[in-house]
C-alpha cells in the first residue's frame, strides 16, 4: 500500500517522538522511579512502531518494538534501572534518528540494527530473570482483572441510581491485544454502552483511556435498566471487543482494593466527575489536540522565502509610489498612498513574523549533547535552559547552531572542572551550564554561562605574546577584559591538551566570524575561578536592518547600526600620520582613519573645518571613517546583490531608498579586514 503522501507528516511526527524519547530519557536518568516517564517513553516507542509499520519502514518499526519490550519490562518492575540500560536506550534512540534521516533522504534503511537489538534483548533476558522486582509497578498499568474500587462519592451515586430503579453493574471490557487506536476503540465502547445507560466511572480513568494508559481491558461502573445479557451483547457488538464481563455491584461488597491504596489523587478526580463530563473527557482531550493541530500548517520554507522576497519588492515599490504621489495633487491620491503605506508596513511585519521560529528548535539538542559530553569527560553537569520560546529569524537559526555547539563544548571540556577539582575549590561537585535566550530591544541575546574555572587573562596575554599577536608592552597595557577578548582573534589558541571534541580557544574566531556574518556580535565575561559567560547578540531578522545613512562622494551608503560605535567631529589637525597611516587618538586609543569616499573610488572628501567621522567596529578591528555627510538613521530592507553582480568585498547588499536611489549597505568587518590585509 502506498503511503508516500504521508511521508512528510510521518517524518515530522517521528522526529517529535524521537525528541520526546530523548527528553524523557534524560529526565528518567535523573528520576528512575518516575513511572510516568516510562509510560510516556513506552507510548512514544509504541506510536513510532505503529507509524513506521504503516509506512513500511520495517527496520524502524522492529527496533522500536524491542525498545517497547524493554520499556514494558521496566514499567512492570521486572527490570532494574542500570546505567547500561539507559545508555542502551539512548543508543537506540540515536539509531532511530539515523534511520529516520535515511528514510527521509532515500526511503530505504541501510543501518544495521542487529547489534543494538541483541543488546536490548540481552538486557531484557539478564535482568528479567533476576527475582525481585526493583521498581514498584504503577497501579494504573496493572494487568489482569481491573478492580473497581469504590469511594464515598461512588457509593452515593449507586444509592441514587438504585433509588431510581437502575441496576448498577461493573462491566469489564477486554479488547483484542493488538487493537489499533485503542483509545478510540474504548471510546466506541463508551458510545455503545451509553445507548443503554450511563457510565458513572471508569478504571483506568477516562483520561488514562484517552491517553492509552491501559493494557487490553478496562472496567466501568454502569447504571442501566437493561439485563446483563443485553449489556454483554451490545459490548460484544463493538468490533475488537473479545470479552465483556458484566457483574452486579452491591454496596456491601466494595471490591478487594480499599480506597486509598489506589493512586489516591487520580481516584478522587475520576470519582467527582459525572457521566456526561466523563465521556466528554474521553473525547475532549482529543478535541483540544485537534484544535491545536488545526492552528498550524506546515509550509515549505521556500514558499516563505518567496513571500518575503516579494514583500521586500513591494516595500520598495511602495516607497517609489509614495515619492511619485508627493508630486500629485489631490488628497485622494495621498490618502490612497497613506493607506498603501500602512498596509505594506503591516504586511512586511506579518511576513517577517512568518520567518520567526522559537530557539527551542536549536536548544532541543543540547540537553542530550551535554549529557554525552559530560559522560565522555567524566564530569557531572547540570544544564539549565531558559527562554527557549524566544523567537529568531529562521535563517539565523540555521546559522546559530554551530557556534552554540562550539561554545557549549568549550564550557564542558575546558570551562567546567572535574568533581574533585571543584570540591577542592569549595564548589558543588556538579558543574552548571546555563543556556538562556531573551529579547533585548531589537536583538535576541543568547547566553552560555558556566560556573567553571574561568579564563585567566594572564595566560591569554602570555600566549598572545608567544604567538606574536601582541608585544610584551601591549600585553602589559591590556585590561583583563581586553585580554579575554583576544581569544576571538584568528589563530589564537591556548590549547594544552586537546580532547576529542574541541580545543580550548580554538574556533572562538570562527564563532566571532559566524556572528559577524549574521550582523551580530559576541562578548565574553569571565572571572577566574567563578566561570565564563559568553553572550551572543543577534538581530531579530536579517531581512531588515537599522542603518546609518551617509553620503560618500556620489553614493549614499548604509552602515549597519551594529557596526557603528560612535559619531564624531574631529579637527583636521587632530589627525596624525604614523608609519604612513592616518590616525587619531581617541580616549587613549589609537584609531586608524579611513576616507570612505576615497575607498569607494571617489575623490577624497574635502571639508572646511571639522571632519565628520563614524567610528565603526567589525571583525575585531576598529577604525574611523571620514564621510562627506551624515544623512540620518533608518530601517532598510536588504536586497542581495549576488544574483547580478556576484559578491563584492565590503558590500553586504543594497537597499532602495524612498526617492528610488540605491544605497550600498557596507559590510564593515569585510571593509576593515581588507584594510588590515593591505597593511600586512
Partner 1 sequence: MAKRVLVTDDTAFMRMSLKNVLEKNGYEVVGEAADGEESVELFKELKPDVVTMDITMPKMDGITAIKKILEVDPDAKVIVCSAMGQKPMVLEALNAGAKDFLVKPFQPERIIEALRKIAG
Catalytic residue list: 46, 68, 410
Quote the Cα angle for 482-486-492, to 5°.
Answer: 165
For residue 366, give every residue at least 6 positions away whose Cβ sits within 8 Å of its Cβ, in sequence order, or none.
Answer: 383, 385, 404, 408, 435
- Is residue 239 a contact residue for partner 1 (CB under 8 A)? yes
Q: How far is the CB of 138 from partner 1 (least distance, A)?
A: 23
259 touches partner 1 by CB under 8 A: no
Q: Is residue 594 a contact residue for partner 1 (CB under 8 A)? A: no
| Comparison of 53 and 503: residue with beta carbon closer to partner 1 | 53
CA dihedral 40, 384, 414, 479 (to 10 degrees): 160
Q: How far is the CB of 405 from partner 1 (least distance, A)?
A: 32
**Residue 191 within binding range of partner 1, rule CB under 8 A:** yes
CA distance 509 to 491: 7
| Residues near partner 1 (CB under 8 A), total | 28
Among 11, 104, 196, 283, binds partner 1 (CB under 8 A): 283
Residue from 115, 121, 293, 476 binding partner 1 (CB under 8 A): 293
Please tell me whether residue 277 binds partner 1 under the rule CB under 8 A: no
C-alpha cell, 59:
527496520
The candidate with the shortest Cα–Cα distance to 375, out of 46, 83, 170, 49, is 83
Judged by CB under 8 A, the residue of 54, 111, 499, 633 near partner 1 is 54
Give Cβ neighbours of residue 316 (< 8 Å, ≥ 6 apart): 637, 639, 656
Q: Can you tell me the distance from the alpha carbon of 325 to that of 323, in angstroms, rounded to the nearest whole number?
A: 5
Q: Which of 69, 247, 254, 286 binds partner 1 (CB under 8 A)?
A: 286
User: Contact between 184 and partner 1 (CB under 8 A)?
Assistant: yes
Of the ranges 43-51, 71-79, 220-228, 303-311, which one interacts with partner 1 (CB under 8 A)?
43-51
Whole-number Å distance between alpha carbons of 55 and 5 = 10
Binding segment (CB under 8 A) for partner 1, from list 287-295, 332-340, 384-392, 452-460? 287-295
CB of 230 or CB of 629, closer to partner 1: 230
Q: Where are the beta strands (DSSP E) in 441-494?
A: 443-450
Which residue, 52 or 464, has its beta carbon nearer to partner 1?
Answer: 52
Task: Specify whether the CB–CB gap between 543 and 308 falls below 8 A.
Answer: yes
Nearer to partner 1, 51 or 141 (CB): 51
> Of 32, 50, 77, 138, which one interacts with partner 1 (CB under 8 A)?
50
β pairing state of 443-450 and 531-539: antiparallel
Q: Decide: is 187 part of the binding site for partner 1 (CB under 8 A).
A: yes
Alpha-carbon distances of 249 from 149, 155, 266, 371, rounded to whole Å: 11, 10, 21, 53
Cβ atoms within 10 Å of 139's Cβ, excluding its own: 17
Q: Of 354-393, which residues contact partner 1 (CB under 8 A)? A: none
Taking the C-alpha atoms of residue 84 and residue 477, their distance in angstroms, rounded to an integer, is: 54
Q: Rule CB under 8 A: is residue 181 a binding residue for partner 1?
A: yes
183 in Cβ contact with 209 (< 8 Å): yes
Which of 80, 87, 94 is closest to 120 using CA atoms? 87
Identified binder of partner 1 from the candidate list 62, 240, 305, 674, rule CB under 8 A: 240
CB of 483 to partner 1, least distance (A): 56
User: Burial, 579: exposed, middle or buried (Cβ in 10 Å; 0-12, 13-18, 19+)?
Assistant: exposed
Q: Minimal distance in Å, beta carbon 50 to partner 1?
A: 5
- Candidate segments 84-92, 280-288, 347-355, 465-473, binder of partner 1 by CB under 8 A: 280-288
**Element containing residue 526 per DSSP (H, E):** strand 521-527
275 interacts with partner 1 by CB under 8 A:
no
Shortest gap between Cβ of 59 and partner 1 (angstroms)? 17
Smallest distance, partner 1 to C-beta of residue 195, A: 12
**Cβ 240 to partner 1 shortest distance, Å:** 7
| 26, three cell numbers | 534524560
Interface residue with partner 1 among 69, 82, 142, 188 (CB under 8 A) is 188
Residues 256 and 258: their CA atoms lie apart, in Å, by 6
Measured distance CA(621)–CA(591) in Å, rounded = 10
**By rule CB under 8 A, what string of x and - marks binding of each residue 141-180 to partner 1?**
---------------------------------------x
Cα–Cα distance, 182 to 238 (Å, whole number): 12
Which residues contribute to the site for partner 1 (CB under 8 A)? 1-3, 6, 9, 13, 47, 50-51, 53-54, 180-181, 183-184, 187-188, 191, 237-240, 283, 286-287, 289-290, 293
Amino acid at each position: 500500500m502506498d503511503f508516500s503522501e504521508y511521508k512528510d507528516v510521518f517524518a515530522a511526527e517521528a522526529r517529535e517522538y524521537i525528541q520526546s524519547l530523548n527528553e524523557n530519557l534524560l529526565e528518567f536518568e535523573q528520576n528512575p522511579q518516575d513511572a510516568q516517564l516510562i509510560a510516556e517513553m513506552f507510548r512514544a516507542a509504541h506510536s513510532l512502531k505503529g507509524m513506521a509499520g504503516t509506512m513500511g519502514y520495517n527496520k524502524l518499526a522492529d527496533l522500536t518494538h524491542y525498545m517497547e519490550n524493554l520499556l514494558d519490562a521496566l514499567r512492570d518492575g521486572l527490570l532494574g534501572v542500570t546505567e547500561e540500560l539507559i545508555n542502551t536506550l539512548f543508543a537506540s534512540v540515536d539509531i532511530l534518528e539515523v534511520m529516520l534521516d535515511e528514510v527521509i533522504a532515500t526511503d530505504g534503511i541501510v543501518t544495521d540494527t542487529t547489534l543494538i537489538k541483541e543488546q536490548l534483548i540481552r538486557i531484557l533476558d539478564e535482568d528479567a530473570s533476576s527475582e525481585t522486582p526493583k521498581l514498584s509497578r504503577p497501579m494504573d498499568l496493572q494487568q489482569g482483572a481491573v478492580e473497581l474500587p469504590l469511594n464515598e462519592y461512588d457509593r452515593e451515586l449507586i444509592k441514587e441510581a438504585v433509588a431510581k430503579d437502575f441496576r448498577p453493574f461493573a462491566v469489564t471490557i477486554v479488547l483484542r491485544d493488538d487493537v489499533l487506536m485503542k483509545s478510540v476503540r474504548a471510546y466506541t465502547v463508551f458510545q455503545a454502552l451509553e445507548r443503554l445507560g450511563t457510565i458513572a466511572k471508569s478504571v483506568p480513568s477516562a483520561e488514562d483511556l484517552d491517553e492509552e494508559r491501559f493494557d487490553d481491558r478496562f472496567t466501568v461502573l454502569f447504571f442501566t435498566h437493561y439485563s446483563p445479557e443485553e449489556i454483554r451483547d451490545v459490548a460484544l457488538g463493538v468490533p475488537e471487543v473479545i470479552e465483556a464481563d458484566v457483574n452486579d455491584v452491591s454496596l456491601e461488597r466494595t471490591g478487594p482494593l480499599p480506597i486509598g491504596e489506589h493512586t489516591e489523587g487520580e481516584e478522587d478526580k475520576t470519582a467527582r466527575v459525572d457521566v456526561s463530563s466523563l465521556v466528554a473527557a474521553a473525547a475532549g482531550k482529543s478535541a483540544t489536540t485537534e484544535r491545536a493541530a488545526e492552528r498550524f500548517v506546515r509550509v515549505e520554507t521556500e514558499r516563505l522565502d518567496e513571500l518575503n522576497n516579494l514583500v521586500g519588492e513591494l516595500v520598495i515599490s511602495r516607497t517609489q509610489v509614495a515619492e511619485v504621489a508627493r508630486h500629485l495633487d489631490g488628497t485622494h491620491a495621498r490618502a490612497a498612498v497613506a493607506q498603501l503605506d500602512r498596509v505594506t508596513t503591516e504586511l512586511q511585519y506579518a511576513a517577517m513574523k512568518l520567518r520567526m521560529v522559537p530557539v527551542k528548535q536549536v536548544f532541543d539538542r543540547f540537553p542530550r549533547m551535554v549529557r554525552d559530553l559530560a559522560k565522555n569527560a567524566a564530569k557531572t553537569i547540570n544544564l539549565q535552559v531558559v527562554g527557549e520560546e524566544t523567537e529568531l529569524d529562521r535563517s539565523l537559526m540555521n546559522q546559530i547552531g554551530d557556534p552554540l555547539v562550539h561554545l557549549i563544548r568549550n564550557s564542558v571540556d575546558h570551562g567546567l572542572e572535574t568533581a574533585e577539582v571543584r570540591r577542592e575549590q569549595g564548589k558543588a561537585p556538579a558543574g552548571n551550564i546555563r543556556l538562556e535566550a531573551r529579547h533585548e530591544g531589537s536583538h535576541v541575546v543568547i547566553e552560555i554561562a558556566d560556573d567553571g574555572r574561568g579564563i585567566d587573562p594572564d595566560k591569554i596575554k602570555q600566549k598572545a605574546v608567544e604567538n606574536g599577536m601582541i608585544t610584551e608592552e601591549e600585553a602589559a597595557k591590556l585590561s583583563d577584559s581586553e585580554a579575554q577578548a583576544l581569544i576571538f582573534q584568528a589563530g589564537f589558541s591556548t590549547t594544552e591538551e586537546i580532547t576529542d571534541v574541541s580545543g580550548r580557544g580554538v574556533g572562538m574566531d570562527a564563532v566571532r566570524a559566524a556572528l559577524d556574518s549574521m550582523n551580530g556580535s559576541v562578548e565574553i565575561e569571565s572571572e577566574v575561578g567563578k566561570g565564563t559567560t559568553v553572550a551572543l547578540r543577534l538581530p531579530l531578522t536579517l531581512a531588515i536592518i537599522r542603518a546609518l545613512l551617509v553620503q560618500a562622494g556620489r553614493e549614499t551608503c548604509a552602515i549597519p547600526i551594529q557596526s557603528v560605535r560612535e559619531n564624531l567631529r574631529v579637527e583636521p589637525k587632530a589627525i596624525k600620520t604614523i608609519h604612513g597611516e592616518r590616525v587619531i587618538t581617541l580616549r587613549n586609543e589609537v584609531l586608524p582613519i579611513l576616507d570612505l569616499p576615497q575607498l569607494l573610488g571617489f575623490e577624497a572628501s574635502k571639508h572646511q573645518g571639522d571632519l565628520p567621522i563614524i567610528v565603526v567596529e567589525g571583525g575585531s578591528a576598529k577604525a574611523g571613517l571620514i564621510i562627506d555627510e551624515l544623512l540620518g538613521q533608518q530601517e532598510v530592507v536588504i536586497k542581495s546583490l549576488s544574483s547580478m553582480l556576484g559578491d563584492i568585498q565590503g558590500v553586504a547588499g543594497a537597499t532602495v531608498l524612498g526617492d528610488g536611489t540605491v544605497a550600498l549597505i557596507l559590510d564593515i568587518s569585510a571593509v576593515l579586514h581588507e584594510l588590515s590585509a593591505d597593511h600586512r
